[in-house]
Structure 1
């Protein structure tokens, strides 16, 4: 057999002629598939007029004769080589004759090898670089190492760890700092289903120069293809990445390269089709032409794909819902129509996707540079993001719609990328371009985080600049076996052959076990104390019931699409649901038979909710999906405005008061301002951040400010208040607070157990409170100097059963099958009992509460609001009734004596007046109530005619209080002064200054002195 590492050239001839119509480089011995036109056989030959297989320098390995092609897998030599072509092979061998020799079969370049890499210039796409030729591994280095026409094809897509680096997001897309690839994805439709959802995503890779059904550089999540190169299969994943599978030692099973991080296998069937089986058990069926035809999960739910030629025409989910595709004459998708009839349209210029228009008419548009790479993307509202690339096609900058730029510089020699963020901070990333993984990140302060990996691209350690290290181990299938934190605490796991967790064991040795059925559905979870939660399933893997550790059952039923249409609890109370064909919930009918109705627009956004009492809430959106208005059941409308990056910049209430926001280039909020209906500023605060986007300063409207600093992990290590008082904070290696040193020097300390539970608190006076937990992390005892020891016990569902204090006084708790408290018993035999479901609209609600004072009965309206409360004391019933507006505002309260309190509201749903009616007479209790914008009350007139008026500063703190009688004569007038932190330092009596009071505080804001007409108290 010929050397498997050396290339050969195979040629195909047209029907009835001697002209070579296509020649391919193959690596022997490889298995290639022939493609036919109408089943007519063709023939192949290797480069050499004697029909022999030779390596590039002419040394013969083995002779062989061509055989007639009579089946698609048998374009075969006696050498057991196979051939393939993407063209039509139609020349028929006659009587086993040797094919004619074409002059272009063995061109002169076969003998030229400029870079001396053992590959002639015919085989070598760059004959000046010995590290570039058809059979070297692809690296993430911005080069087409393996000469397949695609740069960094194993580094495309979004799931590589380089795409998960800090700051890899680049204005709504992501950048791979190793390869320089820009990745962008867009969800076209998502319809939930039992098993496998109908999810369609298109994605763009700037380094992908191939053209598919969405034009150059674009692919979709069902464009998974297999390219058969004999002993090597190239599997193109949904995001465009190529993963290579190899036939190790023959047979029909192919395994992924260990460096790919994949743990699936591909089987070639005897009919030339393929089956890719993921570790999870999901299977992808690919026909002999390399097209994906179906996806099947372990419950046998299947997505089926149908084609005409290579054009995907429809996708059918396991419930029979069909998504349909249409194409132009260039085989590019022009529309996708889902099972609900909603159509998304696609527009092209030349070979480039230039517009995607959703069912509502919202359009994303794209432009491309002279090299064919995405230059701009424009959202539905006209917001433009632009990208720039270097000469090799690597992404080097993005400019967002607010004019903020992010830049990337590449250092191929050191395998590094230098990123300047939108705020001007500089980050450095070092990567391994063979594994396509990050090795080191350096932040703007030169703090470094390093990463180590095994040969399967699994992260085995992460070490931060302060030395804290988290380490991981894995089995051969890539499942994490253990995680050891920076303090040496280890959590371990075991798995079944499908990668599902069988056991998890915490650092203290407590183990939780999981049991699955043959289809991979979780049927039992056994906690560390042996308590079992169980589940049953239907034929599609839909959960039919859950049995909790107490043995109580919740049951579920489903429609044909896998949507839950009913759930019935352990008390046989049922809630039902209906859905549209897209899986949007249309109605929910609770166990009280009250129905809430939901309506949606064409892109599945909720636009209307109708409560059981008829009250409606309406929602409005812009084309980008931002919610622009909410109108409540009383017609009160609140609106929202967004900036060019779709961040909220203004919320306006129904009375035209507004909250306004500004942001920095990194998206951090830099100010919040409230304004009244006239546009006058009522409150204001501004915010400043450091290079890590951690808040460092807050400035109030009066110019006072607070400061704080954080460590590199984002933990606040100091706070300075407006008076300059400083508190300090310390943390352990797991970012848990260890101590707080207050401004007076007092220290409060904290300790934790291995599982992260708070173990003790030591206050500034040395008093220690301790906490203990069971194996399920439930608090079982607490001991403190003031209360002594309190212990707790639990039932198998985690409900507290007993609480025993330091005096051995025990309180017991009893629960119903839904884990609701039904009885609380204290040692002196005082009993509090709760009963559910026996009253009007009472299913799921407390209907009767009995305690030592008597019995209280409740009734509810259709939306679950209390409308009647009956208090029974000594066999006498006292009834209080309530009524509500459609938007939920309390309108009236009727007391047992017949007195009715009536409430009126403004458009902000805040009370403006309170009126009493009793025995036919009406009395105003309060009127003319006004408010700050989004703040407290500013004025109110009592029924007696007395008026109070309040003013506030820009921080919403009270500055004055004036009380007048009905003749507007001043009864009281006070002014308030404060220190920088807001503590009141004086209450000035404007009517009698001698009654002015002053106050002083220590650094912890505790009152240390009060002075007034009584003298001075320290």
Structure 2
């Protein structure tokens, strides 16, 4: 097999022509993967400006248009002045239609204004202001919304000596400040609601020297404390402390890297004092490639230690090119066998064997997925194996790498078309029919039309935010949906008072649609503080308001949720930053307690009604056991789960003592799958019956048959018989 790429350069080393000729000999499938890119450049030899592309054209091998970009420098079409500043960029949707973005500069070469292709219709302009001392730092950014709307202005201040931002102010005037040490490393972020003495986030740096066993610890102002480490492996640490409540404690994380910059893992604060959670722990080969990836585990210290030799992990082996050829999972059961995946690489073909494909004792042995690539490394085909047959799916692309066609294994075709900016303009879908899409010059979607001729028209403001949707239907409502931004809205709150939204600059403040209206208000961090849903009275048409209120902590976690009827619930979190309880309801708690294993999966949950559920997992963190007991200790659920190597559930055993095997409520189930892991059968040993399923090549269910009698409204829900599909 041969893939060919040709490159031509000019005397200055600039690439003037690149021909990706794709597969020219020996490919397994027929390809259309020839792409030609030509580039012309502007030069000003007096200024030694020699590498600015003026025009970039992409065509197929026959010269047909694919894409084109034309650049203008120093306001000189086709050339360049003495500054080499990009002043216009024209992107073509087709061979003759270009959309121009323009750039203005100050005397120091800074971009001061950007105007998108819709400039001139109101807005569509961003203006940047720089510091008066060095003319380097962007101090203001102004978004011109246009059409009578107020501008949106954000600003920042700097430590000009260190070149770092010391504060930022959003569109609503809310200020966040940033703290640095003497090395100008970020050591603190103070968001609205927190204080410089108790920042929202604190960062601590502790570089390690593994050769001399030294650890360098710095105070927030950069003072050094040097210590000798007794650890076998000296690592570098970055500590992150995130404020939980204003002025309160923090949730602590330590990020670990080695001397080569490899990420060794993250250590997070645990749920109980002295407990820490090791996550994303890695071990690397001598070539710096990831070999072992450990499942999360508990530790007793925030200081990094090597993971235990018997720790549950995924071990991967790589070939000389760094590609994974095999990955071995943790044991299926404690102390049990380890399953593995395998990947075979051939020229432009990848063969993927999952755990069942790789097991000679499995019914699914040697039924891999085969993936095909073209000469541009795009996925062009997938072969699936089932019952000795091969079911192919094929994909096609244009030369901008947009997906243009799908042919499934039953011959159904889906086609898409795009313009020169990779915007979807046409789709012929077996389910939806023909769809067309139209855009404005700023690439906002302004019209869609479906197979039934239904048209939706959209409009946008000068900041390219959607303003309206009009369905152009017989109802004649224009528009059907309206969106409002930036301006506060006053509406009835639903309790006899009026509510006025705040902090809405740069935010969606109101939506009016066919169901009524919705108004939004935000806090100083941009989080939704409340929303009011207004729905029309079915008799009078007058809008009735229903308010929802939200409260947060410094860690941006939802703490309270208020409902329109005055009810509310509260959320608490454990020291590990995971949900612990939900307070509310007639009993005082909806959920009174939750606990977790190291991976963050639930270990137990206690409900407010006295019901308790416990979860247990296998070494691969798959649910192994589920127990639920009632307030008096009565067993409600006692299930054991069994999986195959590919993590399909093969059996659920009902162990409830109060429900013997002879009881129709006994819920032991045994599952069977085909080679694509579609459920083909379930057996109920207590009934001596089961349900059988069959499918076509693309996953549509063709049949559901059973001898189990289970009717609802005189219709069987277990024995549906044969099914067919149109289209």
Q: Same fold by TM-score, threshold 0.5 exceeded?
A: yes
Match of 2:88 in 1: 524
Instruction: Please name the residue that 2:690 is paired with.
Output: 1016
Say how many residue pairs are matched.
548
Q: CA deviation at 1:948?
A: 0.5
Correspondence for 1:661 among 270, 282, 293: 282
Q: How far apart are residue 843 of structure 1 and its match?
A: 1.4
Q: CA deviation at 1:683?
A: 4.8
Between the aligned partners of 1:623 and 1:933, the Cα distance in structure 2 is: 27
Out of 547, 562, 580, the position equivalent to 1:894 is: 562
Q: Give the CA deviation at 1:753.
A: 2.2
Cα displacement (A) at 1:682: 8.0
Aligned to 2:108: 540
Secondary structure (helix, strand or coil) at the match of 2:441 reads: coil
Cα-to-partner distance string for 1:630-669 (whole Å, 9 max, x where unaligned): 1101201011233343322232111101122211112222
Q: Corresponding residue for 1:971?
A: 636
The 2-side partners of 1:783 and 1:751 are apart by 14
Partners of 1:772 and 1:627 in 2: CA distance:
50
Once the two structures are superposed, residues 64-90 of structure 1 have per-residue CA deviations (whole angstroms, 9 ceiling, x without a partner) of xxxxxxxxxxxxxxxxxxxxxxxxxxx
Displacement of 1:815: 1.1
1:685 aligns with 2:306: no
1:677 to partner: Cα distance: 4.2
Asked whether 1:606 is paired with 2:189, we answer no
Counterpart of 2:491 in structure 1 is: none
1:732 correspondence with 2:296: no
Q: Does 1:470 align with 2:44?
A: no
**Residue 98 of structure 2 aligns to a residue in which SS?**
coil
Give yes or no for the alignment of 1:844 onto 2:496. Answer: no
Structure 2 counterpart of 1:189 = none
2:620 maps to 1:955: yes
**DSSP 3-state at the match of 2:624:** strand
Alignment partner of 1:722 is 2:348: no
- Aligned to 1:945, the other structure's residue is in SS state coil
1:170-190 deviation per Cα after TM superposition (whole angstroms, max 9, x unaligned): xxxxxxxxxxxxxxxxxxxxx
2:661 maps to 1:996: no
TM-superposed deviation, 1:922: 6.2
**1:808 aligns to what SS in structure 2?**
coil
Does the alignment pair 1:630 with 2:265?
A: no
- 1:701 and 2:701 equivalent? no
C-alpha offsets along residues 34-54 of structure 1, whole Å, 9 cap, x if unaligned?
xxxxxxxxxxxxxxxxxxxxx
| Residue 212 (structure 2) pairs with residue 577 (structure 1) | no
Is contact 1:950–1:962 with CA below 8 Å preserved after alignment? Answer: yes
Aligned equivalents of 1:958 and 1:784: distance in 2?
Answer: 39
Counterpart among 194, 202, 209 of residue 618 in structure 1: 202
Q: 1:694 offset after TM fit, Å?
A: 0.5
Alignment of 1:749-788 (within 5 A): 749-788=394-433
Using the TM superposition, give the Cα deviation of residue 759 of structure 1 relative to its aligned residue in structure 2, in angstroms. 2.0
Are residue 494 (structure 1) and residue 68 (structure 2) matched?
no
SS for the counterpart of 1:691 is: coil
- What's the CA shift for 1:787? 1.8
Match of 1:193 in 2: none
Alignment of 1:901-940 (within 5 A): 901-916=569-584, 923-940=588-605
Matches within 5 A, 1:95-244: none
Task: State the Cα deviation string for residues 471-523 of structure 1 (Å, max 9, x = none).
Answer: 11122333221111123421111111132111111113343211111321111
Contact 2:587 2:609 in 1 (8 A): no
Q: Deviations over 1:821-844 (max 9, x none)?
A: 121222435722221112311112
**Aligned equivalent of 1:68:** none
Q: Select the residue among 17, 23, 45 that pairs with 1:482.
A: 17
Tell me if 1:1007 matches 2:679: yes
- Distance in 1, matches of 2:259 and 2:237, equals 15
The offset of 1:913, in angstroms, is 0.6
* Partner residue of 2:168 out of 588, 596, 605: 588
Partner of 2:183, secondary structure, is coil
Q: CA contact under 8 A between 1:472 and 1:482: conserved in structure 2?
A: yes
CA shift, 1:711, in A, is: 4.4
8 Å contact kept, 1:658–1:677 = yes
Tell me how far 1:627 sits from its aligned partner. Answer: 4.9
1:1011–1:825 CA distance, 2 compared to 1 (3 A): farther
Q: Is 2:484–2:508's contact at 8 Å kept on the other side of the alignment?
A: yes
How far apart are the structure 1 equivalents of 2:526 and 2:599?
27
The residue aligned with 1:378 is: none
Aligned: 1:597 with 2:177: yes
Q: Within 2, Cα distance between the matches of 1:922 and 1:593?
A: 43
Other-structure match for 2:25: none
**CA positional deviation for 1:684:** 2.7
CA distance in 2, matches of 1:672, 1:623: 23
Contact 2:587 2:608 in 1 (8 A): no
Between 554-563 and 640-649, the greater mean CA deviation after superposition: 640-649
In structure 1, the residue matched to 2:706 is none
Give 2:716's aligned residue: none
Q: Contact between 2:560 and 2:568, CA under 8 Å: does it hold in 1?
A: yes
Do the aligned residues in 2 keep the contact of 1:535 with 1:544 (CA within 8 Å)?
A: yes
In the alignment, the residues of structure 1 paired with residue 557 and residue 35 of structure 2 have an alpha-carbon distance, to the nearest angstrom, of 52
Q: Which of 468, 475, 484 is the matching residue for 1:835?
A: 484
Separation in structure 1 between the aligned mates of residue 620 and residue 5 of structure 2, nearest angstrom? 44
Alignment of 1:49-68 (within 5 A): none
Distance 2:259 2:107 in 1: 48
TM-score normalised by structure 2 residue count: 0.73
Segments of structure 2 that go 5 or more residues without pairing to the other structure are 23-33, 44-48, 75-80, 146-150, 209-215, 217-235, 245-249, 271-275, 301-306, 332-337, 358-366, 489-501, 537-542, 693-727
**Contact 2:128–2:138 (CA under 8 A) maintained in structure 1:** yes
For residues 570 and 954 of structure 1, do their structure 2 counterparts lie closer, same or farther at Cα, with a shift above 3 Å needed?
same
Segments of 5+ residues of structure 1 without an aligned counterpart are 1-465
> Partner of 1:742: helix, strand, or coil?
strand
CA contact (8 A) 2:583 2:589 kept: yes
Q: Which runs of 4+ in 1 moved over 4 A?
A: 624-627, 677-683
How far, CA to CA, are the matches of 2:154 and 2:237 in structure 1? Answer: 29
* Larger Rg computed on CA atoms: 1
Distance 2:346 2:203 in 1: 42
Give me the whole-angstrom Cα distance separating, in 2, the residues matched to 1:557 and 1:639. 38
Residue 720 (structure 1) shift: 0.5
> Matched residue of 2:269: which SS?
coil
Match of 1:563 in 2: 137
Post-superposition offset of 1:850 = 1.8
Determine whether 1:803 maps to 2:360: no
Q: How far does residue 603 in structure 1 lie from its aligned partner after superposition?
A: 2.9
The Cα shift of 1:526 comes to 1.4
1:439-477, Cα deviation, whole Å (9 max, x unpaired): xxxxxxxxxxxxxxxxxxxxxxxxxxx421211112233
Q: 1:513 aligns with which of 48, 57, 70?
A: 70
CA distance, structure 2, for counterparts of residue 643 and residue 754 of structure 1: 42
Alignment of 1:321-470 (within 5 A): 466-470=1-5
CA distance in 1, matches of 2:646, 2:340: 9
Which whole-Å deviations, capped at 9, do the CAs of 1:934-958 have from their partners, x for residues lacking one?
Answer: 3321111111111001111122211
Match of 1:675 in 2: 297
CA contact under 8 A between 1:556 and 1:566: conserved in structure 2? yes
Comparing both structures, which one devotes a greater share of its residues to strand?
2
2:207–2:237 contact (8 Å) kept in structure 1: no
